[in-house]
Amino acid sequence: MPDGDLRLVYSSYESLPGAALTFGRVSSGIYTLKQPVVTFADPEIGDQPMPGEDGVRQGRDYQRAASVTLELGVDTVDAPAVRKYPAGLVAAPGQIIGDWPDSPLQLAILKRQGTPESWNREAVDMLRQVWRADSLRGGPGRLGYLSRTAGGRTRRLYGRPRDFGVGSEDLTSQGYTPVVAKFTAVDDRFYDGTLKTEELWDYYLGSAPPRPGRPSWGDNPPWSTSKRTAELVVAGKLPTHPAITIYGPCINPKVTINGLWAVQLALTLGTGEYVTINAYPWSRTVTKWAANGSTMSVADKLTRASPRLANMTLVPGRLQAQLSYSPVTTQRFQGPRVKIQWRDAYAYW
The mean pLDDT of 2-24, rounded to a whole number, is 93
Residues contacting 270, CB < 8 A, separation 6+: 248, 249, 291, 328
Residue type at position 2: P
The model's pLDDT over 30-44, given as tens digits with 9 standing for 90+, comes to: 999 999 999 998 888
User: Which is nearest to 100 in space by CA: 27, 168, 171, 21?
Assistant: 21
* Span 50-72, pLDDT tens digits: 888 888 888 888 888 999 999 99
Q: Is the pLDDT of residue 330 over 70?
A: no
C-beta of residue 323 within 8 angstroms of C-beta of residue 202? yes
Count the alpha carbons within 13 Å of 121 in the hemisphere toward its beta carbon. Answer: 9
Give the contacts of 139 (CB within 8 A, at least 6 positions apart): 13
Minimum mean pLDDT range among 13-22, 46-55, 188-197: 46-55
Residue type, 160: R
Contact (Cβ atoms closer than 8 angstroms) between residue 288 and residue 298: yes
For residue 323, list its beta bridge partners: 255
Q: How far apart are CA 311 and CA 315, in angstroms?
A: 11
Name the residue with higher pLDDT: 60 or 156: 156
pTM: 0.86
Percentage of residues in the chain with pLDDT exceeding 70?
Answer: 89
